Amino acid sequence: MLSRILLFFLFLSFFLEARDNDYSLNSSFVTLAGARFNLLNNGDSPDRYIWLHGDEQTAKIALEDHVEEYGGIAFFVQSSTREVPFKSTIIDLNRIFSREGAYHALKKFQPYWKPHTLDRALDELDEERDSFLNVLMPSESGILIAVHNNFRGYNINIEKSRSQRVSIKDNQNPRDFIICTNKDDYEIIASGPYNVVLQNQPPENDDGSLSWEAIRRNVRYLNIETRLGQLLIQRAMLDYVAKNLD
C-alpha cells in the first residue's frame, strides 16, 4: 500500500513539473479513445513503457516487474480484451496511431457509418492521439518499449517483408522476438541471444501501429513480443535490453 501511495505522489509531481497540456494535474491516468491507461511511475528513468492489449496478461506482469526493478513510467490499459469500446463499435488501440489506420480500425467491425459520423470520430481521435502521445513519448535519451503477447500464428517471419534487417536465432522460438526502430539498438540486440528485426522506414500502408508513429517522431522504439504465458522469456528480453542499450 505504501508503495502505491508513493507511486501516486511520484506521478503527481511528474505531472506538476512536466505537463503543460490540458491533462488534469491530480489524476494518475490518461485516456485514449475513451480507454483509460493507469500510470506506474518509478524513479527518474527517461524510459517509457506501454501495455496496450488487455488480453495479453503475461506482458502486463512482465512489465510491472520490470518497472519496479529498472524504473521508468509505464502505461497500462484498463481493459481485459484486445479491442475497447469506442462510439458504436470496438477498436484495437494499436491501430489508431495514424488517421489512415484509425479509418480502417473504425470500419473493421462496423463497415457502415452515418454521413459525417466517421469523419467526426476520426477528428476526435486525431485530437486525443496528439495529447496522449505528448505524454507517452520519451525525451531524446529515453526509449519507448511496448510489450505484447501472441496466441498462435503471429511470428517474426511475418515481419520480414516490412523490415530493413532481420536476425533470427536457431535456438529461439520465432514467436518470441523484438521489433526495433533504431539501427544502433538493432546492432546491439542482433549480437545478443534474441530474434530481432529492424524497421526504421515507414511502410507503404500505415496500419496505425505505434511503431510507425515512433519512426515519424524519431523515437527509439522497441516492441517486445513473446508467446502468451512465456513470462520468464519476456522478463529476460526486457532485462537484456535494459542492461545492454544506453
Give the interface with Zn ion as residue ranges (CB under 5 A): 53, 148
- Residue whose CB is less far from Zn ion, 92 or 185: 92
Beta carbons of 148 and 128 less than 8 angstroms apart? no
The CB-of-56 to Zn ion minimum distance in angstroms stands at 5
Cell numbers standing for residue 98? 495514424
- Residue whose CB is less far from Zn ion, 48 or 53: 53
- Residue whose CB is less far from Zn ion, 113 or 154: 154
| Alpha-carbon torsion angle 3, 6, 8, 13, nearest 10 | -150
Residue carrying C-alpha cell 516492441: 223
The CB-of-16 to Zn ion minimum distance in angstroms stands at 32
The CB-of-202 to Zn ion minimum distance in angstroms stands at 20
CA distances from 132 to 29, 96, 107, 137, 179 (A): 11, 12, 22, 9, 22
Of residues 216, 207, 212, the one with CA closest to residue 105: 207
From CA 203, how far away is CA 246, in angstroms rounded? 27
- Residue whose CB is less far from Zn ion, 29 or 154: 154
